[in-house]
Amino acid sequence: MKEPSSVGFEGNGVVSPPPQALLERLKDYGQEDAFALWDELSQEERDLLVKEIESLDLSRIDRIIRCSLRSQGLPAAAIEPVPESSVSTVEERSQEERERWWKMGLKAISDGKLAVLLLSGGQGTRLGSSDPKGCFNIGLPSGKSLFQLQAERILCIQRLAAQATNESSASSVQIPWYIMTSPFTDEATRKFFESRKFFGLEAEQVTFFQQGTIPCVSKDGRFIMETPYRVAKAPDGNGGVYSALKCTKLLEDMASKGIKYIDCYGVDNALVRVADPAFLGYFIDKGVAAAAKVVRKAYPQEKVGVFVRRGKGGPLTVVEYSELDPSLASAVNQATGRLRFCWSNVCLHMFTLDFLNQVANGLEKDSIYHLAEKKIPSIHGYTMGLKLEQFIFDAFPYAPTTALFEVLREEEFAPVKNANGSTNVDTPDSAKLLVLRLHTRWVVAAGGFLTHSVPLYATGVEVSPLCSYAGENLEPICRGRTFHAPCEITF
C-alpha cells in the first residue's frame, strides 16, 4: 500500500474525508465503494474522483442498472414469422412501382424532407486500426475511405433530386448528414472530414454528435473502478443514438429544418445506398412509422439477427441469432420455400421524425439495456463484468407500424468487420470484391467491355459514386469503351 501523500492531510494531520453529501448520494444507490480507496489517493486524485462522480447522473444510471438486471431472464413473448404483407420482396416489385417510389423519394429529398443519420461510434480495432471505422480504405482502385464513398453517394443523390425536379443547380438540394461518433472517435472523425474539405459537401450540412457512455458494473450492479479515481465506462451501444439525439436537441434541430424522414445506417457497409430514393418512396407510400431494408438469410446458421413478430399480432422486432432456437432457425415456410425466419437485419433503417421522438422518450422511460459479459479493465487487472448497451433495433417494438423492404445482398450489403486473413467473411477484401463485381455488372449492362490480367471473379472495376448511384446514366461513359480491370471509372 502506498504512503498517503502529505497533500491528503488536513492541517492537523487527519486525512480529510470524502465530501459528505456526495458520499450519502452514493450510499443511496449502493455505490459507496467508489470511495473505498480515498485514504490512499493524493489530493489531485481525490479531486479527479469527486469530479468523476459528480459528472454521473446517478439516479438515471441506477434506474438503468436496476431495470436491465431485472429484465434479464424474464421469459420473452413467443415469436412468429413476419407476415408476408409487411414485406416488399424483390420478385414482387413491378418496374412501375420501382419507378414511382424512386420519383416520390427524389421529390421528398428535393423538398428537404430527408436527413441521413450515420452510426459511426466504432473504431477499426478488429481491422487492426485505432482510427474511426469510416476512415478505413478497403483497397478499391480509388483508395477512397468508407466516409468518402458515402459522402459522394449523398452528392450524387442531391444532383439526381435537383435534375428530377428541375432545380437550377444541384447545390439547391441539400441533405443534412448527422454523424454519431463516440468519445473514442469524435476528434479523429471531425479532423478527417475537415482535412478533406467534407468530400465536396457543404460543411454546414454535416453535424457531428457523440453517443453517451455508461459505467461498467459487476454482476450485482456495482460500479467497476478502472483506476482508484476513475469509473470504468463503455459506449452505450449504437442504440445510444436515440438518447444522444434527444439530449443534444438535434431532434428539435431536424424539426426546425422541416425534416420528416430519417435514413439511418451503420458505417461499415461498403455498398450502403445512402439516402436511397426508392426506399424513401416505399416508406412514404406505406405510411409507416419505421422500416428496414432486409436481405434474405443465406443459410439457417448464418450469424445475423432476424426480424420476427413478438407475441400474437405484436410488433415486429429483431431477435439475435444467439437467441433463436436452432429448430426455428432451420424451419421452412412450405408456401414460399423460404426459411420461416429469413429476413436478416442489416442496419439500414428509415424512421419518421415523430417516431424518433417517441422512441427517445420510451427507451428512456423503460431504461432496459442489453447486458454483455466482457473483460473490463479494473484496479484488479481485467475482471469479468457487464457492459450495458442499447441497439438501434430496440426502437422497433415501439413502432405502431413497420414495413420491410428486401434488397439483394450483392447490391447493397458489403460489411467490413474483420481483418483480412483473420476469416473469409466480412473483410475489407470481401467487401472490395463485392463492390468491384457489382460495378462490373453495371458497366457491362451499359455496353462497356473489360480486359483483365487476373481472373475476373478476383477483380473488376469501380464506378465513382459521382458518376452513378445505382448503375444509372452510365451509357454515355461506357458504351463501346474497353476498361482494364482493376480501375476506377470517373467522368
Span 82-94, pLDDT tens digits: 999 999 999 999 9
Q: Which position has the higher pLDDT, 133 or 312?
A: 133
Q: What percent of the chain has pLDDT over 90?
A: 82
Burial status of residue 330 (CB atoms within 10 A of its CB: 0-12, 13-18, 19 or more): middle
Radius of gyration of the chain (CA): 25
Q: What is the mean pLDDT of the chain?
A: 92
Confidence check: pLDDT of 63 > 70: yes
Confidence check: pLDDT of 439 > 60: yes
Residue 456 is predicted with a pLDDT of 87
Q: What's the pLDDT band for 7 if we cut at 50, 70, 90?
A: very low
Say how far apart CA 436 and CA 458 lie, in whole Å: 9
Residue 179 is predicted with a pLDDT of 98
Say how far apart CA 8 and CA 229 lie, in whole Å: 14
Q: What's the pLDDT band for 13 if we cut at 50, 70, 90?
A: low
Q: Yes or no: say if 64 and 57 are a contact pair by the CB < 8 Å rule.
A: no
The length of the chain, given as a count of residues: 491
**Contacts for 276-279: CB closer than 8 Å, 24+ residues apart:** 276/105, 277/101, 277/102, 277/103, 277/104, 277/105, 277/106, 277/109, 277/157, 277/160, 277/161, 278/98, 278/101, 278/102, 278/105, 279/101, 279/105, 279/348, 279/350, 279/405
**Taking Cα atoms as reference points, which of 315, 491, 277 lies closest to residue 405?**
277
Q: Phi and psi of 286, rounded to 5°?
A: -75, -25
Q: Yes or no: say if 431 and 414 are a contact pair by the CB < 8 Å rule.
A: yes
- 3-state DSSP percent of the chain in helix, strand and coil, to 5: 40, 25, 35
Residue 421 is predicted with a pLDDT of 84
**Taking Cα atoms as reference points, which of 255, 210, 214, 212 lies closest to residue 65?**
214
The stretch 196-201 carries a mean pLDDT of 97
**Taking Cα atoms as reference points, which of 420, 440, 443, 442 lies closest to residue 430?**
420
Q: Yes or no: say if 343 and 294 are a contact pair by the CB < 8 Å rule.
A: yes
The overall longest dimension of the chain from CA atoms, in Å, is 92
Task: Specify which residues 170 forms β-bridges with.
Answer: none
Q: Helices 20-28 and 58-71, interaxial angle, to 10°?
A: 20
Q: What's the pLDDT band for 4 if we cut at 50, 70, 90?
A: very low
Residue matched to cell numbers 424451419: 331
Q: Which position has the higher pLDDT, 419 or 65?
A: 65
Cell of 486: 482493376
Confidence check: pLDDT of 267 > 70: yes
**Contacts for 272-276: CB closer than 8 Å, 24+ residues apart:** 272/150, 272/153, 272/348, 272/412, 273/153, 273/412, 273/469, 273/470, 274/116, 274/150, 274/153, 274/154, 274/157, 275/109, 275/114, 275/116, 275/153, 275/154, 275/157, 275/175, 276/105
Residue 77 is predicted with a pLDDT of 77
**Taking Cα atoms as reference points, which of 21, 25, 20 lies closest to residue 58?**
25
Cell of 182: 463516440
The stretch 368-386 carries a mean pLDDT of 93
Residue 220 is predicted with a pLDDT of 93
Say how far apart CA 48 and CA 489 lie, in whole Å: 55
Other C-beta atoms within 10 Å of 90: how many?
A: 12
Residue 9 is predicted with a pLDDT of 47
Confidence check: pLDDT of 73 > 80: no
Residue matched to cell numbers 463485392: 434
Residue 2 is predicted with a pLDDT of 40
Confidence check: pLDDT of 6 > 70: no
Confidence check: pLDDT of 210 > 50: yes
Cα 390 from chain centroid (whole Å): 11
DSSP codes, 239-304: GGHHHHHHHTTHHHHHHHTT--EEEEEETTBTT--TT-HHHHHHHHHHT-SEEEEEEE-SSTT-S-
Span 411-421, pLDDT tens digits: 999 999 988 88
Of the given ranges (4-13, 32-41, 433-442), which has the lowest mean pLDDT?
4-13
Cell of 51: 469530479
Confidence check: pLDDT of 53 > 90: yes
